[in-house]
Amino acid sequence: MEMIFSLEQLPETVKAFWKVATNAHVIAFHGNIGSGKTTFIHTLCDSLGVKDVISSPTFSIINEYFFSESGATKKIFHIDLYRLKDEQEAIQAGVEDCLYGDHLCLIEWPEKIPSLLPDDTLHIFIEPVNDETRKLKIVDN
């Protein structure tokens, strides 16, 4: 499935995305620097009602956010693997615990840990169409 959207259309695109990704536990975002991965993740978190400050975890590697769903507090792990050298560093950072826990995991630069990703990971590819428009392609295994 593909979606083409502008920044102004991002909230509606995220609503459509959640209809497709309702059962996703681990969502891997692929794309070059500046493609819009963090912006899309920020809007995904906003749509869930996250009140925490949402920012790129490039230096911290893993950020935790919280939201409420059906009266229960839920957790999101936002993981950015850009600075990691290999899968061993990801394991040392605790990424594996996030991937195989009960929480939603949103991962930037998942190509750094291909063998660690669960088989049911939902892969999202984001690429610029032009300065104001992005194309998002959803690929599930």
Q: Which of 5-19, 50-64, 106-120 has the lowest mean pLDDT?
A: 50-64
- What pLDDT is attached to residue 141? 60
Task: Give yes or no for residue 71 having a pLDDT over 70.
Answer: yes
List the beta strands (DSSP E) in the chain.
Answer: 2-6, 26-30, 62-69, 72-80, 104-108, 122-128, 133-140
pLDDT for res 14: 95
Q: What does the pLDDT average to over 19-24?
A: 88
Look up the pTM and report it.
Answer: 0.93
Angle between helices 37-47 and 10-20 (to 10 degrees): 80
pLDDT tens track for 75-133: 999 999 999 999 999 999 999 999 999 999 999 999 999 999 999 999 999 999 999 99
Q: Which of 63, 62, 65, 64 is nearest to 89 (CA)?
A: 62
Confidence check: pLDDT of 59 > 90: no
Per-residue pLDDT band at 60 (split at 50, 70, 90): confident
Rounded to whole angstroms, the Cα distance separating 44 from 10 reads 9
- Contact in structure between 89 and 81 (CB atoms under 8 Å): no
Cα 110 to its chain centre, rounded Å, is 10
Span 46-73, average pLDDT: 88
Start-to-end CA span in the chain (Å) = 13
Is 83 in a helix, a strand, or coil?
coil
